[in-house]
Amino acid sequence: MNDVMQKIDMAKNEIISTVQQTMESLVTRTISVIKSDFDTKILHLQNSIRPTSVVSKNFSFSLVCTIEQLQELDSKLEDHLYTENVKKYMMDKISNVADTVNGQNTCYELVDHFFDRKLMLKCSWTGASKNENPKCALRLYKNVLNTFFEIVKGINSSFNVKLMEHFFKSVTRNSKKRCEAKGLRCSTVHRRSKKKITSVAITLVEY
């Protein structure tokens, strides 16, 4: 009789443990979904109430189309006032972007306000090229990169330097496709289902 009761107790405990684990798992997944939805709505709200930046009256910005213009921009960005005007100008351009993927959607929106897509054909992150002709090394243009980084970081706090490096490597690597797609809407990235995005774990969708 005692053996029977022990077996019943063991079976009962196993059932209770299984139910508890199942409930905990369901609660965790539910909270994760609710949090993701909440974060998205918060970002939409922030974007909708973000004050309009005021650019200096005489400020103008031209799309960077050549390596010489890239060098010139990097030099200009040594000036604090000019840098602040660039930031405000760019924020006006991308103020409606809602970004929950570590700043990547903001990057794709922003890059086309900084650079002509054909310029990226002449660039790579390190200057390395698949043929004998070296390319322009984007990583050397610290002022440009810092300004780009600060704009994106101001919209999405999860953005970091490694993500920016990954982004520009991707943009230069896919520069030909992006040139062919010019005139269409910007590339975007989307969260992978059932996986939390960390660092540079993103899925690229090219248009």
Query: Is residue 144, in this structure, part of any structural domain at all?
Result: yes
Query: Is residue 71, in this structure, part of any structural domain at all?
Result: yes
Q: Give the tens place of pLDDT for each residue, 76-93.
A: 999 999 999 999 999 999
Question: Domain residues for 109?
Answer: 50-205
What's the CA gap between 207 and 190, in Å, rounded? 13
Query: Is residue 6, in this structure, part of any structural domain at all?
Result: no
Higher pLDDT, 191 or 143: 143
Query: Is residue 41, in this structure, part of any structural domain at all?
Result: no
Q: Give the tens place of pLDDT for each residue, 161-176.
A: 999 999 999 999 999 9
How many domains are contained in the chain?
Answer: 1
State residue 194's pLDDT score: 43
φ/ψ (deg, to 5) at 73: -65, -45
Position 97 pLDDT exceeds 60: yes
pLDDT band of 200, cuts 50, 70, 90: very low
Position 42 pLDDT exceeds 50: yes
Lowest mean pLDDT among 5-9, 55-59, 125-129, 136-140: 5-9
Query: Is residue 2, in this structure, part of any structural domain at all?
Result: no
- Mean pLDDT within 111-125: 96
Strand pairing report for 188-190 and 203-205: antiparallel
The model's pTM is: 0.64
Query: Is residue 108, in this structure, part of any structural domain at all?
Result: yes
What's the CA gap between 97 and 63, in Å, rounded? 20
State residue 164's pLDDT score: 97
Pick from 107, 75, 106: nearest CA to 172: 107
Position 10 pLDDT exceeds 90: no
Q: What is the mean pLDDT of the chain?
A: 80
Strand partners, 124: 137
pLDDT over 70 for what percent of the chain? 72
Query: Is residue 10, in this structure, part of any structural domain at all?
Result: no
Query: Is residue 45, in this structure, part of any structural domain at all?
Result: no
Q: How far is CA 166 from CA 186, 199, 204, in A?
A: 17, 10, 12
